[in-house]
């Protein structure tokens, strides 16, 4: 990929240039091109790749510069380096920079664009064209946008989009780690259909939402108990309660703000809680029997964020800005305080892919070594549970979303060699009725992503790392029932004992 930056800016000074100060400034421009802009550029880089002032003009108190560059000392970096350099010299002539006005900024990217690449709609871009393998952007930016490195972010983003287009539909790289042997199967059907049939669950009124009767709830609680007995207690995880309404600020720091939008359940607040303001909305319902949704839309603010999507982001503000003492690490905690919500759209299926689900989230943090060690111990504990207690046909695989692989997050260099362990392991169970595999939980080593996002440090000064594991109770239930069926006599002992006799409270006539 070949990138070129070109900017035109006016540097407005506190007084008009004189012959003397103009000459001094020309010397500075010449020097900047020869020395200042070349600083830090690796040897062997083509001169045309390095920032260069290619045009200048003096008029009254304004110096107009044209700066062009390739990837080194990009045009905007050159501009600010130059600003810093001129200040002391021109100060002698009582000239100070008052303001920088960016008149024009353009970026061109030359690349083999994949066929399915589309010119993206991005902020700051006034005009974009793609022809003959050259993508050109004209930006509307201020000097402070340039100081915020907007052009660099735009280029990085376009790079990601080219890569994404190149990957096509392939969402992730999948690598098998372990596959269990065959286990006793007692059922060939769809467990959801059978649960409905037996009155264990019923559809709730929102999409992808179920009301779990006592029998299904007993099973959820039995699984929860297994997690507590075999994992949480022995490994010393302590329970916390994480919020379930997530403001944008949390997702900005956790990184979810980069792309979670199609699956969010958005949350809005009333413009006022004044009863009089809402009276006609209630009256509308009383008269028509309908909720006046179109009008409600006009009377709410937000969205201020969304309902819980992944559980752990909401924990991190608890540690925001702190330094953790060495001797409290590793921290082992978990949350099971509420539901998670995802808009799964057409994907909803049975109890296993729903819009409202129940999950235990296990979370741990510490040094890189501690984080990896906890993940390994968790994996061993899970293996015991799936092999010996649930007797499942299951497998696990390391999955790497393509963007993670590209961001260099995988295999990041660490002295301990833990970098290669960053990523997610999915645990999947066989669904005999559809001969497919269902992800029923995962274990992720997230590296320093969350501690960085929330500014969490460790006393010793080494990077803080974290990991998390989401145990989906609907998914455990779907996996278990689809292999073992709904008859308790056929279930493995431990599960049968914990569930007890399924309670049948309701009789439907
Ligand atoms: P999938 O690929 O099946 O959509 P995911 O990759 O979106 O899963 P994660 O974001 O890794 O899932 O979520 C962690 C866990 O949360 C999953 O392993 C699963 O147990 C649970 N989970 C996620 N989405 C749902 C859902 N729609 N219904 C029920 N459980 C879910
Ligand atoms: Zn998590
Ligand atoms: Mg999903």
Residues 190 and 478 sit within 8 Å (Cβ to Cβ): no
Q: What is the spatial distance between Cα 366 and Cα 328, in angstroms, rounded to a whole number?
A: 9
Residues 395 and 180 sit within 8 Å (Cβ to Cβ): yes
- 321 vs 116, residue with greater confidence: 321
Q: Compute the distance from residue 444 Cα to the ligand 3 centre, in Å.
A: 15
Q: Compute the distance from residue 310 Cα to the ligand 2 centre, in Å.
A: 6
Query: Residue 227 phi/psi, 5° resolution?
Result: -60, -40
| Adjacent-strand bridge partners of 148 | none
Nearest CA to ligand 1 atom 29: 353
Residues 301 and 270 sit within 8 Å (Cβ to Cβ): yes
Is there a catalytic annotation at residue 148? no
User: Which of 357, 399, 431, 440 for mutating ligand 1's site (highest number of atoms within 8 Å of CB)?
Assistant: 357
Q: Where are the domains of the chain?
A: 2-165, 170-243+311-498
Rounded to whole angstroms, the maximal C-alpha distance in the chain is 101
pLDDT band at 81 (very low <50, low <70, confident <90, very high): very high
Mean pLDDT of 146-171: 88
- 411 vs 441, residue with greater confidence: 441
Whether residue 411 is predicted with pLDDT greater than 60 in this model: the reply is: no
Q: Can you give the pLDDT at residue 412?
A: 58
**Residue-wise pLDDT tens digits, 256-292:** 999 999 999 999 999 999 999 999 999 999 999 999 9
Is there a catalytic annotation at residue 312? yes
Q: Compute the distance from residue 184 Cα to the ligand 1 centre, in Å.
A: 26
Is there a catalytic annotation at residue 428? no
Lookup: tokens for 458: 């460790």
- The 10 Å Cβ neighbour count of residue 195 is 24
- 422 vs 166, residue with greater confidence: 422
Nearest CA to ligand 1 atom 5: 439
Whether residue 109 is predicted with pLDDT greater than 60 in this model: the reply is: yes
Q: Can you give the pLDDT at residue 407?
A: 57
Per 3-state DSSP, the chain is made up of helix, strand and coil in percentages (nearest 5) of: 40, 30, 35
- The 10 Å Cβ neighbour count of residue 429 is 26
Q: Can you give the pLDDT at residue 402?
A: 66
Nearest CA to ligand 1 atom 18: 441
Q: Are strands 245-247 and 300-307 parallel, antiparallel or unpaired?
A: antiparallel
- CATH number listed for the domain at residues 2-165: 3.30.70.1920
Q: What is the spatial distance between Cα 190 and Cα 350, in angstroms, rounded to a whole number?
A: 8
Phi/psi region, residue 455 (left: phi>0; alpha: psi -120 to 50; beta: rest), is left
User: Which of 192, 359, 360, 444 for mutating ligand 1's site (highest number of atoms within 8 Å of CB)?
Assistant: 359
Nearest CA to ligand 1 atom 14: 470
Q: Which residues have any ligand 1 atom within 6 Å of their CB?
A: 342, 344, 353-354, 357, 359, 439-442, 470, 472, 474-475
Q: What is the spatial distance between Cα 14 and Cα 448, in angstroms, rounded to a whole number?
A: 46
pLDDT band at 419 (very low <50, low <70, confident <90, very high): confident
For the chain, count helices (H), then strands (E). Answer: 14, 22
- The 10 Å Cβ neighbour count of residue 29 is 18
Q: Compute the distance from residue 426 Cα to the ligand 2 centre, in Å.
A: 13
Nearest CA to ligand 1 atom 21: 472
Q: What is the spatial distance between Cα 509 and Cα 502, in angstroms, rounded to a whole number?
A: 20
Q: If you average pLDDT over every residue of the chain, what do you get?
A: 94
Residues 429 and 394 sit within 8 Å (Cβ to Cβ): yes
pLDDT band at 420 (very low <50, low <70, confident <90, very high): confident
Is there a catalytic annotation at residue 468? yes
Whether residue 440 is predicted with pLDDT greater than 70 in this model: the reply is: yes
Whether residue 466 is predicted with pLDDT greater than 70 in this model: the reply is: yes
Q: Compute the distance from residue 360 Cα to the ligand 3 centre, in Å.
A: 16
Mean pLDDT of 324-349: 96
Which of the residue ranges 123-137, 354-368, 399-413, 465-479 would you say has the lowest mean pLDDT? 399-413
Q: What is the spatial distance between Cα 154 and Cα 49, in angstroms, rounded to a whole number?
A: 19
Q: Can you give the pLDDT at residue 113?
A: 92
Query: Residue 488 phi/psi, 5° resolution?
Result: -60, -30
Lookup: tokens for 412: 């990041």
Nearest CA to ligand 1 atom 11: 442
Residues 449 and 416 sit within 8 Å (Cβ to Cβ): no
Q: Compute the distance from residue 131 Cα to the ligand 3 centre, in Å.
A: 36
DSSP 19: H
Helices 75-91 and 19-34, interaxial angle, to 10°? 140
**Annotation: CATH topology of 170-243+311-498:** BirA Bifunctional Protein; domain 2 (3.30.930)
Lookup: tokens for 452: 């960085």
Whether residue 28 is predicted with pLDDT greater than 60 in this model: the reply is: yes
CA atoms within 13 A on the CB side of 393: 18
- Residue holding tokens 């590793």? 330
- The 10 Å Cβ neighbour count of residue 102 is 19
Q: Which of 172, 224, 361, 448 is catalytic?
A: 361
Lookup: tokens for 443: 């274990």
Whether residue 475 is predicted with pLDDT greater than 60 in this model: the reply is: yes
- Percent of the chain exceeding pLDDT 90 equals 89
Whether residue 347 is predicted with pLDDT greater than 90 in this model: the reply is: no
Mean pLDDT of 413-431: 86
Whether residue 8 is predicted with pLDDT greater than 90 in this model: the reply is: yes
**Nearest atom (ligand 1) to Cα of 344:** 27
Is there a catalytic annotation at residue 25? no
Q: Which of 159, 263, 344, 463 is catalytic?
A: 344
User: Which of 470, 473, 478 for mutating ligand 1's site (highest number of atoms within 8 Å of CB)?
Assistant: 470
Lookup: tokens for 291: 């909720």
DSSP 205: S
Whether residue 166 is predicted with pLDDT greater than 70 in this model: the reply is: yes
* Interacting residues of 120 by C-beta distance below 8 A, sequence separation 6+: 157, 158, 161
Lookup: tokens for 355: 């819009």
Whether residue 413 is predicted with pLDDT greater than 80 in this model: the reply is: no
Q: What is the spatial distance between Cα 100 and Cα 81, in angstroms, rounded to a whole number?
A: 13
pLDDT band at 160 (very low <50, low <70, confident <90, very high): confident
Q: What is the spatial distance between Cα 461 and Cα 450, in angstroms, rounded to a whole number?
A: 16
Q: What is the spatial distance between Cα 345 and Cα 167, in angstroms, rounded to a whole number?
A: 24
Total-model pTM: 0.90
Q: Can you give the pLDDT at residue 395?
A: 98
Nearest CA to ligand 1 atom 1: 439
Whether residue 21 is predicted with pLDDT greater than 70 in this model: the reply is: yes
Q: Strands, E, within 180-299: which ranges?
A: 201-203, 210-212, 238-240, 245-247, 266-270
């Amino acid at each position: 990929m070949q990138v070129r930056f070109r900017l035109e800016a006016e540097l407005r000074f506190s007084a008009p240039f004189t012959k003397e100060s103009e000459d001094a400034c020309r010397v500075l421009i010449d020097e900047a091109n020869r020395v200042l802009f070349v600083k830090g550029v690796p040897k062997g880089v083509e001169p045309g790749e390095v920032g260069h002032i290619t045009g200048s003009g003096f008029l009254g108190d304004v110096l107009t510069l044209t700066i062009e560059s390739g990837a080194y000392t990009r045009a905007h970096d050159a501009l600010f380096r130059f600003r810093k350099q001129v200040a002391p010299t021109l100060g002698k002539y009582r000239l100070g920079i008052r303001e920088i006005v960016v008149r024009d900024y353009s970026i061109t990217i030359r690349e083999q664009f994949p066929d399915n690449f589309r010119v993206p709609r991005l902020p700051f871009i006034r005009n974009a064209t793609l022809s003959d393998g050259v993508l050109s952007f004209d930006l509307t930016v201020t000097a402070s946008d340039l100081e915020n490195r907007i052009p660099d972010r735009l280029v990085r983003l376009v790079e990601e989009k080219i890569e994404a287009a190149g990957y096509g539909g392939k969402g992730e790289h999948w690598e098998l780690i372990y596959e269990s042997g065959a286990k006793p199967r007692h059922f060939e059907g769809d467990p959801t259909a059978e649960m409905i049939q037996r009155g264990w669950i019923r559809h709730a009124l929102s999409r992808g939402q179920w009301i779990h009767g006592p029998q299904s709830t007993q099973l959820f609680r039995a699984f929860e108990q297994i997690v507590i007995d075999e994992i949480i207690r022995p490994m010393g995880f302590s329970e916390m309660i994480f919020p379930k309404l997530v403001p944008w600020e949390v997702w900005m720091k956790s990184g979810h703000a980069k792309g979670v939008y199609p699956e969010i359940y958005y949350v809005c607040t009333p413009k006022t809680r004044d009863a009089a303001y809402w009276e006609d909305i209630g009256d509308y319902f009383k008269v028509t029997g309908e909720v006046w949704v179109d009008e409600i839309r006009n009377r709410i603010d937000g969205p201020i964020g969304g309902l819980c999507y992944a559980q752990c982001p909401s924990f991190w503000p608890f540690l925001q800005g702190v330094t953790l003492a060495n001797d409290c690490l590793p921290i082992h905690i978990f949350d099971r305080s509420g539901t998670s919500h995802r808009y799964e759209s057409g994907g909803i299926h049975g109890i296993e892919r729903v819009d409202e689900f129940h999950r235990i989230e296990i979370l741990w943090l510490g040094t890189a070594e501690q984080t990896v060690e906890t993940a390994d111990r968790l994996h061993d504990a899970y293996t015991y549970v799936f092999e010996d207690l649930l007797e499942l046909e299951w497998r696990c695989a390391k999955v790497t979303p393509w963007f993670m692989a590209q961001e260099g997050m995988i295999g990041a260099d660490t002295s301990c060699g833990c970098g290669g362990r960053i990523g997610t392991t999915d645990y999947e169970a066989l669904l005999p009725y559809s001969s497919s595999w269902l992800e029923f939980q995962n274990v992720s080593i997230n590296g320093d992503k969350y501690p960085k996002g929330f500014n969490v440090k460790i006393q010793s000064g080494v990077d803080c790392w974290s990991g998390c594991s989401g145990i989906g109770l609907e998914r455990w239930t779907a996996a278990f029932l689809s292999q073992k069926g709904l008859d308790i006599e056929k279930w493995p002992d431990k599960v049968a004992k914990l569930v007890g006799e399924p309670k049948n409270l309701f009789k439907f006539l």
